[in-house]
Amino acid sequence: MPYPNYTEELLGLKDISLKYVKRCDNKLYIHIEMHKRIHTCPRCGERTSKVHDYRKQRIKDIPLFGEITVIYLRKRRHICPKCGKRFYETVSFLPRYYRITNRLAAYVIQSLKEVGSMKSVSKLVHLSPPTVARIFDHVEYSNTSLPRVISIDEFRGNAGGEKFQCSVTDPEHRKVIDILPNRKTEDIARYFLGYKDRKVVQHVVMDMSEPFRSLAKSLFPRAKIIADRYHVVRQVIWAFENVRKAEQVKFYDSRRKYFKRNRRVLLKRPENLTEEETDQIASMLKISEKLRQAYFLKNEFHKLMECKSREEARKQLGIWNMMAAGYNLPEFQACTKTFINWSEEILNSFEYHFSNGYTEGVHNKIKVMKRNAFGIRDFKRFRNRILHVMS
Ligand SMILES: [Zn+2]
């Protein structure tokens, strides 16, 4: 039975022998050598273990026992007895061009999966932020196929000299497909034209953005476009809020403040109101005819959103549009105009239950990332970091 190599077990490094360990200033210095092996000459192919000289290499490793760990490898330089070529022995645990172990590089990359900054990771592993960034630059995500359902949306990323970036996600499998450098339609079109399998896309979810819709229609002519439901409701909430704000400026001070303070009660669904809140609303609506109309339209719209089928929704949307057009509220007339223009896409959301909910979550996570990392300015790094964190 061979004697187990506890050094290899403990350090997790293969084919090494431990020379000595020194501890000083909270650092652990581990001096090692590789086992002596026969190497093949890179020039002539002769096999040899003849040593020419040694060089000490300083290698950073992952913290061991909670201490900064530095490995000193006494590296052999061999000499070929046949052709005289001098060459270093191979070390399996070292990546090329770095004075760190493979596993430290892997640990850095793993740590960057969290939304924290490169700076916080660099502190954790005791490497400089530029080194951490350079290690991360080896990570690259690319995507070659599209899913059945895609969601496309813009967000304020401030990367690569552009204010807005676009995210492309797969809401069905909750995956980020890609991050695009800007929201210019010609660039987005060029990006999607790079895919050979555009035909597989059956549904495209988006908010009610005209440029995105015409883009989707030309890129995915067979796909159904779905308006994001939350975005549709938001239009109505905004219209309602604008009516409230316009009305309350007409009030005297204490009443205005009262309305402002109780805006949340007004936004609640009637079925969720307490008795006291119901009375409160009744007295608020008594004061303004416009607010009463807006309140009615808002609640009627919630009813529409609860429709269970496309047909039911089609009827309700028609009724709602008529009612909203009938009142003298420009805010709601603007809604009606949008909803008529987007009626097919809105009704699609009652037939196919995909939304931008996942995308919104991704955008929120990006926001946190950006808060932690003072501007990931370089777009390539920005994109890879998002795809890395979301993968
Ligand atoms: Zn040789």
> Around ion ligand 1, which residues have CB less than 5 A away?
41, 43-44, 46, 80, 82-83, 85
Q: How far is the CA of 16 from the centre of ligand 1 (A)?
A: 25
Confidence of residue 297 (pLDDT cuts 50, 70, 90): very high
Q: Higher pLDDT residue, 235 or 65?
A: 235
Of the candidates 180, 221, 94, the one whose C-alpha atom is nearest the C-alpha of residue 382 is 180
Confidence of residue 4 (pLDDT cuts 50, 70, 90): low
Q: How far is the CA of 80 from the centre of ligand 1 (A)?
A: 5
Structural contact between residues 226 and 192, judged by C-beta atoms closer than 8 angstroms: no
Q: How far is the CA of 34 from the centre of ligand 1 (A)?
A: 21
User: DSSP H helical segments within the chain, as ranges?
Assistant: 6-11, 102-111, 118-125, 129-136, 185-193, 210-219, 229-248, 253-261, 263-267, 275-287, 289-305, 310-326, 330-341, 343-351, 357-372, 379-390
Percent of the chain scoring above 70 in pLDDT: 97
Q: How far is the CA of 42 from the centre of ligand 1 (A)?
A: 7
Least confident of 61-65, 178-182, 364-368: 61-65
Token duo for residue 162:
């552009």
Q: How far is the CA of 89 from the centre of ligand 1 (A)?
A: 14
Mean per-residue pLDDT of the chain: 90
Q: How far is the CA of 9 from the centre of ligand 1 (A)?
A: 35
Q: Report pLDDT digits (tens) over 202-246.
A: 999 999 999 999 999 999 999 999 999 989 999 999 999 999 988
Q: How far is the CA of 48 from the centre of ligand 1 (A)?
A: 9
Confidence of residue 374 (pLDDT cuts 50, 70, 90): low
Q: How far is the CA of 83 from the centre of ligand 1 (A)?
A: 4
Q: How far is the CA of 44 from the centre of ligand 1 (A)?
A: 4
What number of other Cβ atoms are within 10 A of residue 348's Cβ?
20
Q: Report pLDDT digits (tens) over 301-327.
A: 998 999 999 999 999 999 999 999 999
Residue 165 confidence (pLDDT): 94
| pTM recorded for the entire structure | 0.80
Residue 1 confidence (pLDDT): 47
Rounded mean pLDDT, 37-55: 94
Residue 23 confidence (pLDDT): 92
Q: How far is the CA of 367 from the centre of ligand 1 (A)?
A: 57
pLDDT higher than threshold 60 for residue 183: yes
Burial readout 62-97 (b: 16 or more C-beta within 10 A, e: otherwise): bbbeeebbbbbbebbebbbeeeeeebebebebbbee
pLDDT higher than threshold 70 for residue 3: no
Kindly state the greatest CA–CA separation across the chain: 103
**What SS3 class is residue 226?**
strand
Q: How far is the CA of 45 from the centre of ligand 1 (A)?
A: 6
Q: How far is the CA of 53 from the centre of ligand 1 (A)?
A: 16
Q: How far is the CA of 50 from the centre of ligand 1 (A)?
A: 11
Percent of the chain scoring above 90 in pLDDT: 57
Rounded mean pLDDT, 86-111: 86
> Is 195 buried (19+), middle (13-18) or exposed (0-12) by CB count in 10 A?
middle
pLDDT higher than threshold 90 for residue 298: yes
pLDDT higher than threshold 70 for residue 169: yes
Residue 55 confidence (pLDDT): 93
Q: Report pLDDT digits (tens) over 261-281.
A: 888 888 888 888 889 888 888
Q: How far is the CA of 79 from the centre of ligand 1 (A)?
A: 8
Residue 97 confidence (pLDDT): 66
